[in-house]
Amino acid sequence: MGSYKFILSGGGTGGHIYPAIAIANELQRRYPDAEILFVGAKDRMEMEKVPQAGYKIEGLWITGIQRKLTLKNLLFPIKLISSLMRANSIVSKFKPHAVIGTGGFASGPLLKMATVKGIPCVLQEQNSFAGITNKLLKDKVKKICVAYDGMEKFFPKDKIVKTGNPVRSDLVGLKAAKSEALSYFELSANKKVLLVLGGSLGARRINQLIADHLAYFEGLGLQIIWQCGKGYYETYKAHQSENSKVHAFLNAMDKAYVAADFIISRAGAGAVSELCLVGKPTFFIPSPVVAEDHQTMNALSLVEHDAAIMIREKELDSKFKTEFESVFASTEKQEELSKNIKALALPNATSDICDEIEKLIQ
């Protein structure tokens, strides 16, 4: 048997790209001479992030269907046909032993063509509410790796394997010492720390909330590590102070997690999986504008286990302080949230997904 070949496809957002990269890294570790190719959507962020991670990527000319009648929608059938032809040619030329799709527009045409050619395909669904691409592919693929219970309402039961979502390897068993993490962010060891995360692009409503409550947090004796996002940094950098550290982006995510006592975050699937491993009291403020409102579903699946607090954007004005104080004032509540969120962590996700891929190619 020569060396294995794998195609990974997924993109549009970090939530689809980072799991694909984590899976590729693990396959490369197991099969050092494997050939790995990524397929993404032209002019989406995967075209930049994948080469940075050291992998080759081919782009398809594809976009999603907009919810209203636009020029993009009129072009959609043409783009779809073009992408199917391109995907067909990529698969025929590369001849992969297996294809892995992590969601996003590009994975649709690629996995469709791979299944037509009888190549074993694996889907990785990050959310508790299945995405449209994955639902369309469910009958043709061999295995579907999921992160939540109850996914048989979207997928055939006999294909589902609960693995969890791949997370960055530096977050499994966080190593950094608390004192080192605090000094990295120039924070005091005598005060509690609130970490604020709006996703890789930042979140307007979360940023407004923090800006409006800076005096309130100061009154509680809290220090803040605030990741506001690249697009918002110019607006919020003026709030930089001894107690409030404003960052466009956090490169040392592991240190930020170690320093934190409380976390406010969006509820993208990747963030939720990471925060289960981190195990700190967490307040989720789901983005209301994502497809199928899946961030709310992701957060609710933790709330059901008393593992996190969720506050919807439209309820922030009426509920934020009450909800925050109910946790801040009670050590018992903090310990309960930490224990319950940790119990939901699936730290071996990447390895378990690669085990499923191995079974198919052997």
| Phi, psi dihedrals of residue 319, rounded to the nearest 5° | -115, -20
* 164 labeled binding residue: no
* 127 labeled binding residue: yes
The distance in angstroms from the start CA to the end CA of the chain is: 10
* 88 labeled binding residue: no
* 168 labeled binding residue: yes
* 298 labeled binding residue: no
Instruction: List the one residue out of 149, 150, 151, 145 whose CA is nearest residue 163.
Output: 145
* 10 labeled binding residue: no
* 126 labeled binding residue: no
What single-letter amino acid sits at 105? F
Annotated binding site for UDP-N-acetyl-alpha-D-glucosamine: 13-15, 127, 168, 200, 295
Annotated binding site: 13-15, 127, 168, 200, 295
